[in-house]
Each structure stands twice: as C-alpha cells, then as structure tokens.
C-alpha cells in the first residue's frame, strides 16, 4: 500500500500554533499534513543535512534576493526551539511572528519538496495560494527534483502556476464531471508536447484546450 502526505492550505495566521508557541525540540524529518511541525523539521534538517541547508538557502535567495542570509534556531525555555530569519540589511533577525504569510508558506513548500527522505507520495493542493507569482518557477523546479525520489502531485486552477510547471513536462491529469461522477484523464504526453511547442499549459487551460485533449 502506498502511503503519502496530502497537504492543503497551511494555517499561517497569527493565531496558528506554528507562530504562537515555540515547539519542543524534536527530531523530525517530515512535515505533517497540517504543517504545524514545520519549525521542528526545519531545525532538524537545516542543522544536520548540508544539502538540505544549501537547497533551502538557494530557494530563499532565489525568491528574496541576496538580502537573505540564513535561518537560525536559538533555544527557548523548556527545551523549546524558535526559528528566526537573518536578513543582511537588518541588525536583528526576524522572528516568526514578523514573517509574512507568503514567506512562511514558501518555506513550508520548500521544506516538503527538499526533504532528503520524502514520503512515497507528496500531494499539495493549490500550492500557489498566498504566494507571489515569481515564486512559482522555484516551486516547479524543486518539485521536478523531488519527483526523482518520490511522486509529486499538484492540484491547481492557476494558469500562471501551470506555465511555471510547463518547462518540466509534468504528467497532466484533467478532471471532469460525467454521469454524476468525477473523471480523471491523463493527457497523452507526446500530443501535449507538440501543443507546447506553440502554447503554454496556462494558455491551454484558459482556452479549454486541455479539457479538449482529455
């Protein structure tokens, strides 16, 4: 039986557990489906795995530029750990309470996709939610790398996100509704590749051509 993790929109509000209370330091290497153990997973992997640290730093620099310096995990009371972000222009590191929702969601996605030992299946619903479109190509690139080790599934209604994934030639599955049932149809890869010579995935989605090929 194939086990995996299904990720939906992660709660990054100011009332979310991920922001309110520094978690107890635990050795964890996979992000839970609700994303609330993100800090402990980041602490584990960023501290012990050089390639993971390199991947996260590269993703953050690609998204935010050279101002990003790194993540730090100063200890808190009662065996707890906190996460801060160092920005070169700022004298003090930024606490998790001051991190924007988009930054936190981006870190969540990068942690899931860059994990050295991912679940056999990673399914992420609407990964574009709350993110700047400039981040989409970074997510697509890291998903393509993760797909060498596990199966990565995205569900999206965003033409811009589809365009970002297009260069990596993903398997495209179109959902439909027929006779009161949801249908799933994988598009023919060779035929789709020919269409992508002239059109992008996003444009084909907007025009209805993806559904027509199903």
Domain ranges of the chain: 5-170
Q: What pLDDT is stored for residue 112 in this prediction?
A: 97
Helix and strand numbers, DSSP H then E, in the chain: 9, 10
Burial pattern 116-126, b for ≥16 Cβ within 10 A else e, equals: eebbeebbbee
Query: Residue 2 pLDDT more than 70?
Result: no
Band the pLDDT of 1: cuts 50, 70, 90.
Answer: very low
Return phi, psi of residue 116, to 5°: -70, -25
Query: Residue 15 pLDDT more than 70?
Result: yes
- Ranked by mean pLDDT, which of 16-20, 24-28, 69-73, 167-171 comes out on top? 69-73
Pairwise pLDDT comparison (179 vs 47), residue with the higher score: 47
Q: How many CB atoms lie within 10 A of CB 184?
A: 9
143/151 Cα distance (integer angstroms): 9
Residues 6/151, Cβ–Cβ less than 8 Å:
no
Pairwise pLDDT comparison (63 vs 190), residue with the higher score: 63
pLDDT tens string 87-145: 999 999 999 989 999 999 999 999 999 999 999 999 999 999 999 999 999 999 999 99
pLDDT tens string 51-97: 999 999 999 999 999 999 999 999 888 888 999 999 999 999 999 98
Pairwise pLDDT comparison (40 vs 21), residue with the higher score: 40
CATH of segment(s) 5-170? 3.40.50.300
């Amino acid at each position: 039986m194939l086990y995996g993790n299904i990720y939906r929109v992660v709660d990054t509000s100011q009332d979310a557990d991920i922001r309110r209370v520094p978690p107890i330091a635990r050795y964890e290497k996979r992000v839970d489906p609700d994303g609330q153990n993100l800090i402990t997973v980041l602490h584990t992997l960023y501290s012990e795995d050089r390639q993971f640290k390199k991947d996260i730093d590269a993703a953050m620099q690609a998204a935010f530029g050279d101002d990003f310096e790194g993540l730090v995990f100063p200890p808190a009371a009662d065996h707890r750990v906190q996460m801060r972000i160092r920005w070169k222009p700022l004298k003090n590191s930024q606490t998790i309470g001051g991190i924007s929702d988009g930054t936190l969601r981006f870190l969540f996605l990068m942690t899931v996709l860059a994990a050295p030992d991912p679940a056999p299946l990673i399914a992420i619903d609407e990964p574009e939610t709350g993110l700047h479109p400039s981040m989409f190509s970074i997510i697509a690139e890291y998903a393509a790398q993760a797909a060498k080790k596990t199966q990565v599934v995205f569900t999206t209604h965003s033409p811009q996100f589809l365009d970002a994934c297009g260069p990596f030639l993903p398997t495209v599955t179109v959902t439909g509704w027929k006779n009161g049932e949801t249908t799933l149809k994988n598009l023919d890869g060779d035929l789709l590749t020919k269409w992508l010579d002239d059109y992008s995935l996003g444009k084909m989605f907007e025009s209805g051509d993806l559904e027509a090929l199903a």
